Amino acid sequence: MSPQLSRRRFFASAAAVMGGGFASALSSSAPGEKNLDSKIGSMLMSHFAGTMVSPEVGTLVRDACLGGVLLFESNFASAPSPKASLFKLVRDLQNLSPHPLLIAMDQEGGAVNRLKTSYGFPATCSAQTLGQRDDLQRTREAASTIATTLSQVGINHNFAPVVDLYINPDNPVVGRNKRCFSADPERVAAHAAAFIRAHRERKIITTLKHFPGHGSSTNDSHQGLTNVTRSWSEVELIPYKRLIDADLVDSIMTAHIVNSHLDDRYPASLSFEIVTKILRRKLGFQGVVISDDLLMNAIKSQFSLEESIKLAINAGNDILLFTTISNNLIPRIHSIIKGQVQTGDISRERINESYTRIQNLKRRL
């Protein structure tokens, strides 16, 4: 028996063990519903535990329930040969997927660096170091090293660069960790452009973060809602505007920050006012928008899963990010979104918009 056939039978068995679960529900759907299921799946990205493709993950990927996965160090660091293990994991995921799978990683360089020298990867430096040197060629070379490393292990999507401004040096999210190029928006835009071009040379998708600007915050949105109403200024939009106008933006990640001047009801990631009216209409971005992790305390402490999903999609996010698949989460999310489409809480047009943007993005791979 060939390894590929063996793997297919293994995951088919796993699906059968799940009984009347999501996989069997998909196979019994009408053609139109299958199409909707596939489109919903393309909008979901999740992290999963382990260094190998488990039966659960294999079923989700094979049945197009996930359009992308996010990998952390925990997905390869404990393996005897981390580099080889990561390469095999990525290859197995792509082999199982019926469509090109977005395989993402936070590989900014500096403090946010999953591919460390201790695992056999090249050294990196922080965005702050590059911005202080202010040598665009040096930034492009540093980004080229990152992009080449990602490409060698099969990662096709980098959640970078950060285009937040270095406004609050004591910012626990980006400031303290030296993740910002500069406080000068023009310098940030120039270095981010060099970073992106180096990735495009190797067909690696990039994601600007964290819209509409996390640089002035004093709290960490991983822990709770962060309010930047008093500290945020419109100058924080300049890097986005410059890069959008230069057609250098593949995707943008929205932040779980509150800014009452922009929306007095919802955080940016769930805000139609911010995502659609400002990012899409005012700044002219028509590409893929990705939510930050919707399981962060900033969101789950304030909104139910059902409400956060509905708000995120209707705000204009195309890909919803989750950092676990535990407790049957992905099938539950599919069911929630499909139910909200059927009740009209989310329109089919809104799903179709996201699907089209995601497909256009994947054509860059």
Active site residues: 222, 292
* 157-158 vs 205-211, strand pairing mode: parallel
Residue among 22, 3, 19 at smallest CA distance from 62:
22
The DSSP 8-state label assigned to residue 308 in this structure reads H
Residue by residue, DSSP assigns 122-148 as: PP---HHHHHHHT-HHHHHHHHHHHHH
Residues 292, 294, 295, 299: is their CA dihedral positive or negative? Answer: positive
Cα 333 to Cα 356: distance, rounded to the nearest angstrom: 20
Residue type, 154: G
| CA–CA–CA angle 8, 14, 15 (5° rounding) | 90
What does the block give as tokens for 102?
A: 């977005």
Please, which residues have CB within 8 angstroms of residue 329's CB and are 6 or more apart in sequence? 46, 322
Decide if 181 contacts 130 (C-beta within 8 A): yes
What does the block give as tokens for 315?
A: 């705000």
Cα 70 to Cα 318: distance, rounded to the nearest angstrom: 16
**Cis, bond preceding 210 (omega within 30 deg of 0):** yes
Crossing angle of helices 55-62/82-96, nearest 10°?
40
What does the block give as tokens for 24?
A: 């069997």
CA 162 to chain centre: 13
The backbone torsions φ and ψ at residue 86, rounded to the nearest 5 degrees and listed phi first, read -65, -45
Please, which residues have CB within 8 angstroms of residue 354's CB and are 6 or more apart in sequence? 39, 42, 43, 288, 313, 317, 318, 319
* 205-211 vs 251-254, strand pairing mode: parallel
